[in-house]
Structure 1
Amino acid sequence: FEDVLHAKDSESLIDWLRHRPLLHHDEALGYTMIHAGLPPQWNLDTAKQCADEMQKVLRGKKIKKFLAHMYGNKPNLWSEDLKKWDRLRFITNSFTRLRYCTEEGRQDFKENGPLGTQPEHLHPWFRIKNRESKDLKLVFGHWATLGQVEDDNIFTLDSACVWGRGLTAMKLGETPEYFQIPCKGARVPVKKLSRMSTD
């Protein structure tokens, strides 16, 4: 991201990024694409409303004020009663950082390893029982140590390009097709890479 901030056209690049959607739902194909995750309490309507709410702030005049309040791990449990910066921070964390949460949906931002390495009380957000979005076909990335997961309606795309593995794309359809090209690792954290298969 430093490259973007220091680029000659950084202002136009950042403006372009601010105008990208946090959620894309394709009604015809029946897929929903997000960056990281959805809290288990959110159905598609709630997710769309929260994405719209966040996008208005990102594209609006209060962007600098928001950025000053954006960082932090709290609140970590969804409530319709969340207001102002707390609400926007929760929405941001959900769309951009979520990996693990408790069965009740309390988000954890310390754990980022592969499945099976997390404490027993934590579960990947997409495996929470009674998740409101369980009937949605969800396409997401963000989680380099996750790899490809074959859960119903879950399509993972982060194949650890950042660590020199592959860059993955998916052709949406009745039977999705995955495509991958090799990446020459920008960063190779030895501890992280050793946990992953090199096949």
Structure 2
Amino acid sequence: MISNPTLQNLYAIGDLQGCATQLQTLMENVLHSDPAARWFFVGDLVNRGPRSLDTLRMIRSLGERASCVLGNHDLHLLAVAHGIRKSSRSDTIDQILQAPDRDDLLDWLRRQSLAQLIDGHLLVHAGVPSQWTATQTLALAHEVETALRGPDWVGFLREMYGNAPERWDDALRGAERLRCIVNGLTRMRLCTSDGSMMLKAKEVDGANPAGLMPWFEVPGRRSTDVTVVFGHWSTRGLLVQPNVIGLDSGCIWGGQLTAMRLADRALFEVSCPQFQAPGE
């Protein structure tokens, strides 16, 4: 967790997905002009890229100069490690699972947050459901964080997967409540006009399916009084709007790895080669 959480010298970095080489280059470029730089990673630290183990070790070694939120690939790593999910052909997490410091890394990972608010910037991995204020987002994220850090955290992972319920309701309880929170913060992209999450829907030729829209365009979204900083959406690429910043610029797909200095929105980028996992 970053000490003294303010925007001063704080750089938010998009989805890494195991691209440790590009991360090292990007950080060196920033540090050349700002030796006091601090880092915030918007989730999906690992998987699908070539150096997931090195990426986790690097971020953990930064100590109080860095913080992050968990993404869907980070939660997937925890689930695979405990036999709840099977590895897919595109996964590149075996080095982590076989590492001598595996348990320490996974324990560190499950203790990270799902949302943080820093000087009017709400940082999450995927998005914020339209029904939530920034304050409510932090409180609901804390419910999941408490489950992940608790004694039955593996039991929580067993109940975490699924696409229902699609829409948040304050009356939700138990596994359905936590699952809806996780889906909103780590998986959501497209929604209906009432804020229901369509987790299986995908863009077609760069266009939204009929009747669907990005979560940040849902009418009446209650988090518009802060700037939401997120990743998770590489097909949208870098997105900079007055109260929405998307930083997943497709590092593993041959795009860029992007950092933004949040105080003035200055951008720092490095180009990345497209990576294909050996099993694909």
Secondary structure of the 1:98 match is coil
Amino acid at match of 1:21: S
What residue is the counterpart of 2:236 in the other structure? 146
What residue is the counterpart of 1:44 in the other structure? 134
Amino acid at match of 1:184: P
Give the share of equivalent positions with the same residue, in percent.
39
Q: Does structure 2 conserve the Cα–Cα contact (< 8 Å) formed by 1:70 and 1:88?
A: yes
What residue is the counterpart of 1:4 in the other structure? 96
What residue is the counterpart of 2:114 in the other structure? 22
Q: Deviations over 1:27-66 (max 9, x none)?
A: 3xx2111111110000011101101111000111111111
What residue is the counterpart of 2:250 in the other structure? 160
Q: Does structure 1 conserve the Cα–Cα contact (< 8 Å) formed by 2:190 and 2:213?
A: yes
What residue is the counterpart of 2:220 in the other structure? 130
Q: 2:182 aligns with which of 87, 92, 107?
A: 92
Contiguous gaps of at least 5 residues in structure 1: 189-199
1:100-139 mapped onto 2 (5 Å cutoff): 100-113=190-203, 116-139=206-229
Indicate the structure whose relative CO is greater, using CA pairs within 8 Å and at least 6 residues apart. Answer: 2
What residue is the counterpart of 1:53 in the other structure? 143
Determine the C-alpha separation between the residues in 1 that align with 2:162 and 2:168. 15
Identify which range, 18-27 or 144-153, moves more after superposition.
144-153
Q: Deviations over 1:155-180 (max 9, x none)?
A: 1100001212111111011x311111
The structure 1 segments of at least 4 consecutive aligned residues displaced by more than 4 Å after TM superposition are none
Secondary structure of the 1:95 match is helix
- Report the count of equivalent residues: 185
What residue is the counterpart of 1:182 in the other structure? 271
What residue is the counterpart of 1:195 in the other structure? none
Question: How much has 1:68 moved relative to structure 2?
Answer: 0.8
What residue is the counterpart of 1:72 in the other structure? 162
Q: Does structure 2 conserve the Cα–Cα contact (< 8 Å) formed by 1:113 and 1:146?
A: no
Determine the C-alpha separation between the residues in 2 that align with 1:88 and 1:12. 25
Amino acid at match of 1:168: T
Identify which range, 143-152 or 110-119, moves more after superposition.
110-119
CA RMSD between the two structures: 1.6
Determine the C-alpha separation between the residues in 1 that align with 2:98 and 2:179. 26
Determine the C-alpha separation between the residues in 2 that align with 1:146 and 1:112. 12
Q: Under a length normalisation based on structure 2, what TM-score does the superposition of the two structures give?
A: 0.63
Q: Does structure 1 conserve the Cα–Cα contact (< 8 Å) formed by 2:187 and 2:232?
A: yes
What residue is the counterpart of 1:196 in the other structure? none
Secondary structure of the 1:32 match is strand
Question: How much has 1:115 moved relative to structure 2?
Answer: 8.6
Q: Under a length normalisation based on structure 1, what TM-score does the superposition of the two structures give?
A: 0.87
CA separation of 1:115 and 1:179: change in aligned 2, threshold 3 A: farther
Secondary structure of the 2:241 match is coil
CA separation of 1:137 and 1:38: change in aligned 2, threshold 3 A: same
